Structure 1
Amino acid sequence: MILDFAIVCPAGCSDGCCVIWDFETRGIAKELGDKDCVAPITSVCWSKCGRHILVSATDKSLTLWEVFNGEKIMRTTLQQTTLHACLHPGSCTPSICLACPLSSNPIIVDLNTGSTTVLPVSVLDASTGPAPPSRNKFSNGSPPFTPTAACFNKFGDLVYVGNSKGEILIIDHKNIQVYGIVPISGGTVIKNILFSRSGQYLLTNSNDRTIRVYENLLPPKDGVRALDELNSTIDELHGIDKLKAVGSKCMVLFREFQDSITKIYWKAPCFSGDDEWVVGASASKGEHKIYIWDRAGHLVKILEGPKDALMDLAWHPVHPIVVSVSLSGLIYIWAKDYTENWSAFAPDFKELEENEEYIEREDEFDLIPEAEKVKESYVDEDDEVDIETVEKDSAFSDSDLSQEELCFLPAVPCPDVPEQQDKYVESSSKLVDSNHSGTPLSEEAGQNGQAMNPASSPINVINNSVAEDTGITRLKRKRKPSEKGLELQAEKGLKPLMKNKSSGKLSKIKNKSAAEHDICAFEDDVIDESQ
């Protein structure tokens, strides 16, 4: 389900988290979840203002999230797993939702108190008379697996329920009263039912492999009052006949969509944002096909994806973009392939098939052409420009009551994984320990039973000893001793620096005069080579 302003799209994951994807950056804008949300998500629903999300999961829970701050407002647990849940479309503050459990009647849930109200799925449930024994029961007497589809109308004052008998019940959810019944040809199970964004059309997906579109004849507002007036005008009928008579004046069949060749089942049908197109997916397990019809009933396009079953489908509120979810958990975005139209950037641009001779005007390349000098400017430069007010656009809202809609969702960077932080801390501590303990050469020498000065390396021994004895801070150049230097070392009885095997320590220069003479030998060597 895509937000009205079409900036983000939520997706429920199998680990219980709800991930909100940004259409602009194509990244994760927000992730909603905590330690209590661990079960796979079955449905997600935006509130009318776009600031809240209702999430249903397989652990029979309903969770309401505040999107901007990522806070959990409430969480309640029902008696059965909810396959589909939607918030009341007529109020900006989410307080009521409609839940369709796995194998029981739809219920109205009060999010403030947690109380539930069961809606009837047949006239027998709404009547006071006893219901006859059902023949569609298992051997143990439990009811069969019959999920029921239901949805609000545009302003949420009525609920339309599709039952397993192929009937659409028009119910006032506040008074729990059935006002009308619309029978469907064939009398098969209704799997999906939903309204278009404008509230003018109702779509149903039945078990007879047919998608039907009904035109809503009731006014968008005050549907309950209009139904009361219809009931008062029909006095000669009673019971089910009267409910069907009222239903025939509330809805009329507009179009039917089916594949007359393959006779495939449909899944997740929906309308486009402007109600001009109807889209439905194939329910076959081995294919990812999306069928698009126009409202007149003509098949316009078939989109073929990978060999992965399709689970859900949603149409972009404004643009011709379709989002589909596969069985493997991948989300596919289908968009129109646009060709480059340079005239959209420059209205006076004209594509030429061959070269043409062009004669430029006299003032064509002047800073202020003569033609523009003649024109008068009607722009009032003193008027203030309002850049803060957002004008309402009917294309972005299902309801006129929507206020303070969420127009922007800032992307929050995800924190580092704690395991990675522990690795970084451990590596930095090892680096500090290595700086304090010495080089790997010293560690190896320690393991071999030899000792080494941890504060210095073999190369720095002579530098430190000379600096201590002569006061020289450092040697700018390090060169090998020359022949003269080696002869002087041999005369004085000095030996090259090496490890003493008996003591395990490096032999140091003890004679101060020899060290001074050695430095002089280094300097003479440099001078000789430079000459």
Structure 2
Amino acid sequence: MNLSLQDPFAVAKEYPDSLIQTFQYGHSTTFQFNKKGDYLASGTSDGSIVIYDLSINGVICLMESVHSRPITSLSWSSCGQYLLSTSQDWTCKLWDLNNCETPLKSILCDGPIWSGMINPNNSQEFVLSLFEDKPIYYRNEVVKLETEPEITKHLTLVSVFTPDGQYIFMGTNKGYLNIISTKDLKLVHSFKLANSNIKNLVISPNGRKLAVNSSDRIIRQIIVPDLINDDVENWEFEVEHKYQDVVNKLQWNSVSFNHNGEFLVASTFGTQSSQDLYIWETSMGSLIKILEGSSEELIEVKWNYPRCMIASNGIEYGIIYLWSVEFPQKWSALAPDFVEIEDNIEYQEKEDEFDIIDEDLLNKKRMEEEDLKVDIITTEKLDARGFDLTSKSFIIPINYEQSLAN
């Protein structure tokens, strides 16, 4: 089969350009897509979790007041069955979405939690960044990570796993980037990137690029070295591009890469342009698109890789805005000889249009074409953009009786 016909985004732009949908169920403080891109989980200010099914654009799971204070972060497991939620109520909870009534694990920390993330290789392990305390790694038990062997009073604000789950990148309030090995939970590398808080760390899905958003109004795009190399002392993190607005001095709220790291999107903070999203092309570092349409300042921004979609939530009303690619219907994809015209034109007869055709020759040609075997059973392993079509993702069960009752 023609893969370009299977995926409409294969021949379109690789970044969204139009606001197509909004979600609002409570005041969304954070949200996250699952790896397959068919679900969106939203954490609200009253401690509830709402899960949307993007195929029907509706709520399929509502976990009311699972936390007593606003939720600060959500993280899906690679398989899509488990969801980690962190909150200002000092707790983090790991949920099995096969049964959302009680958490699989619940941990009470020593303070509010900035963020949490599940290990891509193990859905039962996760890392937490705490407010004014050392970060925590959970592996059958709570382990506090030592990230400041020489420099004291460093607070870890954000932690992210590398795509292979072998290392944890941590950003501090002093502008340092600490790298922890998940094998022995030891600090293997540390260096200074900026003179201010590191607010966001985002690693591209291919593991080649790192985006660092700091309070100095600069987003640094860094080339990630080969982390398989055991010579950690010779790791070199080269700053490839710096993204900033030298005219308006914009502060950036959040950043995110697309599926291959070719584009970077960021939300702005506290200005007249805070309702817009900025998209850069990462190879040259040039601004290519500003997404408009929201009615409030945008906080987090996330990229849904399989659906070529960007989402962001507002700070005032807590609405989730979704941008995607709008592509016109092309009838020529169904009939190759179909031609679209804007105005009436005078038809010109072809020279051989009404010639007498040998029916025997025509039937012979049709028989030869019918003898060609067309495989309509074998499933393609990759789509037009290289996404694995054979990977299985967890499907959240729906209680239809409870839905009808509500």
Q: TM-score range by the shorter chain?
A: 0.7 to 0.9
Structure-2 separation of matches of 1:297 and 1:65: 39
Q: 1:273 aligns with which of 256, 259, 278?
A: 259
Partner of 2:268: 282
Q: 2:127 aligns with which of 73, 80, 98?
A: 98
Structure-1 separation of matches of 2:124 and 2:89: 21
Q: Answer whether contact 1:322 1:333 (CA < 8 A) is retained.
A: yes
Larger RCO, structure (CA 8 Å, separation 6 or more)? 2
Q: Answer whether contact 1:182 1:247 (CA < 8 A) is retained.
A: no
* 1:58 correspondence with 2:88: yes
1:356-505 alignment to 2 at 5 Å? Answer: 356-359=347-350, 360=353, 370=363, 371-375=365-369, 377-379=371-373, 385=377, 391=381, 395-396=386-387, 404-406=392-394, 408-409=395-396, 411-413=398-400, 415=402
1:77-476 alignment to 2 at 5 Å? Answer: 77-91=108-122, 94-110=123-139, 113=140, 115-124=141-150, 146=155, 148-184=157-193, 186-219=194-227, 223=228, 226-227=229-230, 230=231, 243=233, 246-248=234-236, 251-284=237-270, 287-295=274-282, 296-327=284-315, 328-352=317-341, 353=343, 354-359=345-350, 360=353, 370=363, 371-375=365-369, 377-379=371-373, 385=377, 391=381, 395-396=386-387, 404-406=392-394, 408-409=395-396, 411-413=398-400, 415=402
Q: Answer whether contact 2:114 2:157 (CA < 8 A) is retained.
A: no
Give the letter aligned to residue 62 of structure 1. C
Give the letter aligned to residue 334 of structure 2. F
- Unpaired runs of at least 5, structure 2: 1-31
Partner of 2:57: 26
Call closer, same or farther: CA 1:299–1:414 in 2, change over 3 Å.
farther
Secondary structure of 1:148's aligned partner: strand
Q: Report deviation, 1:14.
A: 2.1
- Unpaired runs of at least 5, structure 1: 126-130, 135-142, 232-242, 421-531
Structure-2 separation of matches of 1:22 and 1:318: 14
Secondary structure of 1:275's aligned partner: coil
Secondary structure of 1:124's aligned partner: coil
Q: Report deviation, 1:386.
A: 5.8
Q: Report deviation, 1:343.
A: 1.8
Structure ranking higher in strand proportion: 2
* TM-score, normalised by the number of residues in structure 2: 0.79
Q: Report deviation, 1:342.
A: 2.4
Structure-2 separation of matches of 1:363 and 1:293: 59
Give the letter aligned to residue 225 of structure 2. L
Q: Report deviation, 1:21.
A: 0.7
Structure-1 separation of matches of 2:292 and 2:203: 26
Q: Deviations over 1:487-510 (max 9, x none)?
A: xxxxxxxxxxxxxxxxxxxxxxxx
Structure-2 separation of matches of 1:376 and 1:325: 54
Structure-1 separation of matches of 2:90 and 2:387: 32
Give the letter aligned to residue 280 of structure 2. W
Structure-2 separation of matches of 1:161 and 1:305: 33
Q: Deviations over 1:218-246 (max 9, x none)?
A: 14xxx3xx23xx25xxxxxxxxxxx5xx3
Q: Report deviation, 1:206.
A: 1.2
CA-based RMSD of the aligned residues comes to 3.0
Partner of 1:435: none
Q: Answer whether contact 2:294 2:321 (CA < 8 A) is retained.
A: no
Call closer, same or farther: CA 1:199–1:344 in 2, change over 3 Å.
same
Q: Answer whether contact 2:175 2:192 (CA < 8 A) is retained.
A: yes
Structure-2 separation of matches of 1:19 and 1:414: 18
Structure-2 separation of matches of 1:309 and 1:17: 22
Structure ranking higher in helix proportion: 1
Call closer, same or farther: CA 1:275–1:414 in 2, change over 3 Å.
farther
Call closer, same or farther: CA 1:60–1:261 in 2, change over 3 Å.
same
Q: Answer whether contact 2:158 2:199 (CA < 8 A) is retained.
A: yes
Partner of 1:15: 46
Q: Answer whether contact 2:73 2:115 (CA < 8 A) is retained.
A: yes
Task: Work out the percentage of aligned pairs sharing the same amino acid.
Answer: 23
Q: Report deviation, 1:269.
A: 0.3
Q: 2:105 aligns with which of 71, 74, 86?
A: 74
Q: Report deviation, 1:379.
A: 1.5
* TM-score, normalised by the number of residues in structure 1: 0.62
Give the letter aligned to residue 167 of structure 2. L
Q: Answer whether contact 2:202 2:212 (CA < 8 A) is retained.
A: yes
Call closer, same or farther: CA 1:413–1:311 in 2, change over 3 Å.
farther
Give the letter aligned to residue 327 of structure 2. Y
